[in-house]
Structure formats: structure tokens, C-alpha cells
């Protein structure tokens, strides 16, 4: 006979290790807003603003599946993040956006 699995005395469930997905696509809306800010930032080079605009357009495609849109935007931003002429603050913003895109369901 085996011993039963132990459970916390209070009956509480341990918190999940990953964050809960945001309802109603608010995570995606925040990413799109961040891309819009980056596209309007005059302190980053023109090619960065152009790619941010293209990534935003990729995410807003109406007929494509969400995972396809996210993958397309990540691909565009990943190529840009490897540009040696990219300012540090621009690279940090891109990494932050890519991180949020990767965490979307």
C-alpha cells in the first residue's frame, strides 16, 4: 500500500509559476501600443521606426491566425535587434516587445 500524496494543511493551492494570460487581447493591444510609440520616437533611426510600423501592421492583419501574426512580428523585430547601428535604448525597447509577444497565448 502506498502513502497518500501530501497536501498543504490549509488546503491552499500553490500559485502558478507563469503569469495568467490577459483577457480580451489586452496584451496584444499593449504590444501594438508599444510598437506605435517606437514608430513615433524621433530618437531612433528611420529604419527602426519603419520596422516597428511593419511589425504593428503584421499584428493587425485581420484574416491571419494570431500565432502567425505574432511569429511574423517577432521575425521582423528579431532581425532589427541584431543591427549593430541600433541605439541601446531602441534595442532594449525591441527586446521588451519581443518578450511580451513571446508570452502571448
Q: pLDDT class for 20, splitting at 50, 70, 90?
A: very low
Sign of the dihedral through C-alpha 58, 59, 61, 65: positive
Q: Does domain 44-103 bear CATH number 3.30.70.270?
A: no
Sign of the dihedral through C-alpha 74, 95, 31, 104: positive
pLDDT, residue 105, reads 73
Please state the domain extents for the chain: 44-103
Overall pTM > 0.75: no
Amino acid at each position: 500500500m502506498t502513502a497518500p500524496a501530501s497536501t498543504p494543511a490549509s488546503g491552499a493551492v500553490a500559485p502558478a509559476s507563469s503569469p495568467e494570460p490577459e483577457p480580451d487581447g489586452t496584451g496584444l493591444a499593449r504590444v501594438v501600443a508599444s510598437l506605435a510609440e517606437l514608430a513615433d520616437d524621433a530618437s531612433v533611426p528611420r529604419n527602426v521606426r519603419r520596422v516597428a510600423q511593419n511589425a504593428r501592421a503584421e499584428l493587425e492583419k485581420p484574416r491571419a491566425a494570431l500565432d502567425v501574426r505574432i511569429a511574423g512580428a517577432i521575425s521582423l523585430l528579431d532581425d532589427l535587434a541584431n543591427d549593430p547601428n541600433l541605439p541601446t535604448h531602441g534595442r532594449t525597447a525591441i527586446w521588451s516587445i519581443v518578450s511580451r509577444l513571446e508570452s502571448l497565448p
